[in-house]
């Protein structure tokens, strides 16, 4: 009977550890899902930045702005 109790306790400990591993894997999956959305957002921001730059240059005309540099 003692050996059976030991086996049951080992099984319960192993089961609990597997549950913790499963929970951690689920958390990692959720984080990965969020991270996968970042590159498309970065690309869209780069395109938006280029478009805003083009609009700014269009607004000031053919010549670029005349900026005096500080000495």
Indicate the average pLDDT of the chain. Answer: 87
Average pLDDT over residues 34-57: 91
pTM of the model: 0.54
Q: How far is it, in rounded angstroms, from Cα 3 to Cα 38?
A: 53
> Do residues 64 and 57 lie in contact, with contact meaning Cβ atoms separated by under 8 Å?
yes
pLDDT for residue 35? 93
CA 49, chain centre distance (Å): 21
Domain ranges (residues) in the chain: 2-59
pLDDT for residue 62? 64
């Amino acid at each position: 009977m003692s050996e059976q109790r030991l086996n049951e306790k080992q099984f319960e400990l192993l089961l609990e550890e597997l549950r913790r591993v499963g929970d951690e894997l689920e958390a990692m999956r959720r984080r990965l899902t969020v991270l996968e959305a970042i590159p498309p957002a970065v690309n869209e921001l780069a395109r938006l930045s280029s478009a805003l730059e083009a609009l700014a240059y269009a607004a000031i005309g053919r010549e670029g702005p005349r900026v005096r540099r500080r000495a």
